[in-house]
Amino acid sequence: MAITTLHTVFLFLFFFILISLPPSSPVKLPFSKIFAFGDSYTDTGNTHSRTGPYSYGYVSNLPYGTTFFHHSTDRYSDGRLVIDFIATNLSLPFLSPYLRRNSDFSHGVNFAVAGSTALDHSFFVDNNITIAITPESLQTQLEWFAEYLEKSGCQGRSKQCHEKFEDALFWIGEIGANDYAYSFASSVSPNVVQDLVLKNVFKFLETLLSEGAKYIVVQGLPLTGCLPLAMVLSPPDDRDRLGCAATVNNQANKHNLILQSKIEQLRKQYPKAIISYADYFNAHRTIMNKPAVYGFTEPFKACCGSGGDPYNFDIFATCGSPEVTKACSVPSKFVNWDGVHLTEALYKVVADMFLHSGYCHPPFDVLLKHKLQGS
């Protein structure tokens, strides 16, 4: 009797195991999670959830989100961002913003927040830079990350945490552009700001690496001098070969060069990690050199703005404000969305360049290959 019962139990277990197996073994995803950091170029909604004034414009109103979502998602674009296209390519859903309560974080978290600076907010307060109204910085994002880890049962530097990190892609979006914009007209010299910004970015990356991050992509700055905001604020004779604000573009270029040397230093310190530099500057420059090749007829004019030619940008009547409730009719022909941020069409081209066209160093598929071999 006892044996028969055991048999029954075994049989039952056997069938139970059989039916609980999926019909075909699922394709192994290269990464189970993405952790993203950065500013409004990467923020998928943290800006709406945070307390305090919005850093720029009226992101919660249409026409933000008009292209893909058909409503505002608090993304600073007409549609998807680079990070959205990256997630899709990795067969992961769009990342939930950390501050959105009751979000599903099983495939990663987005800590990027609009207006965020590389430098701590106290730097701007101490130097009387009052236009830096956003209190969030890289430090804030690290604190949110630590809070998230603690909530998900990952205390300290346990083995379990390390394993979690090895299966995650760390995506560091643009950061530093706000520091430069905020201190543009301040008494602190641009070189001092740049030096401090890059020291903080380095410290931030080092923290992630020391905690066990193994696969990191770090974006450089785009051509910040080609944004209508920079064009309007800089003297008309301060122009480079592309017709953009030369001083601002030079500052971004220098930032990127120093950033790359810091990354090289980190590669030596953490030889087991793969740190890829995503060359936003040259991707953007390639597009601005021949916009028509990528389907753009308007390289400079904001799609959603006011004021008409040449930039359709008025800092006192920006996209989403009561004065500007309509965008251009075909955003995909525009590089620029609202004077400061770019269109979904531009973000898609840039994401494709990062993923497929060798604008990541080492290339993104090399990083993927390492990941698939290493796990």
Ligand X SMILES: *[C@@H]1O[C@H](CO)[C@@H](O)[C@H](O)[C@H]1NC(C)=O
Q: Closer to ligand X by CB, 130 or 325: give it.
A: 130
Q: Closer to ligand X by CB, 323 or 365: give it.
A: 365
Binding to ligand X, residues 80-109 (CB under 6 A):
89, 91
Q: Closer to ligand X by CB, 11 or 29: give it.
A: 29
> CB 37 → ligand X: shortest distance, Å?
22
Active site residue 338: yes
Residue listed under structure tokens 């941020």:
341
Residues β-bridged to residue 277: 218, 361
Binding-residue pattern over the window 165 to 194 for ligand X, x denoting contact by CB under 6 A: ----------------------x-------
> CB 87 → ligand X: shortest distance, Å?
10
Q: Closer to ligand X by CB, 272 or 356: give it.
A: 356
> CB 100 → ligand X: shortest distance, Å?
25
Name the catalytic one among 39, 179, 341, 375: 341
Verify binding: residue 356, ligand X, rule CB under 6 A.
yes
Verify binding: residue 29, ligand X, rule CB under 6 A.
no
Verify binding: residue 132, ligand X, rule CB under 6 A.
no
Q: Are 232 and 172 in contact (CB under 8 A)?
A: no
Binding-residue pattern over the window 257 to 286 for ligand X, x denoting contact by CB under 6 A: ------------------------------
Residues that bind ligand X (rule: CB under 6 A) add up to a total of 8
Sign of the CA dihedral with 113 first, then 114, 117, and 120 last: negative
Pairing of strands 298-302, 168-172: unpaired
Active site residue 341: yes
Distance CA 75, CA 60 (A): 8
> CB 348 → ligand X: shortest distance, Å?
12
| Terminal CA-CA length for the chain | 47
Verify binding: residue 127, ligand X, rule CB under 6 A.
yes
Verify binding: residue 321, ligand X, rule CB under 6 A.
no
Q: Closer to ligand X by CB, 72 or 183: give it.
A: 183
Name the catalytic one among 40, 55, 96, 137: 40
Verify binding: residue 24, ligand X, rule CB under 6 A.
no
Active site residue 40: yes
Name the catalytic one among 179, 279, 314, 338: 338
Q: Closer to ligand X by CB, 7 or 356: give it.
A: 356
Q: Which residues of 20-51 are buried (b: 16+ CB within 10 A; e: fewer)?
A: eeeeeeeeeebbbbbbbbbbbbbbbbbbbebe
Q: Closer to ligand X by CB, 290 or 356: give it.
A: 356
Cis status of the peptide bond prior to 63, with omega within 30 of 0: yes
Verify binding: residue 365, ligand X, rule CB under 6 A.
yes
Verify binding: residue 130, ligand X, rule CB under 6 A.
no
Known catalytic residues are 40, 338, 341
Q: Which residues of the chain form contacts with ligand X (CB under 6 A)?
A: 89, 91, 127-128, 187, 355-356, 365
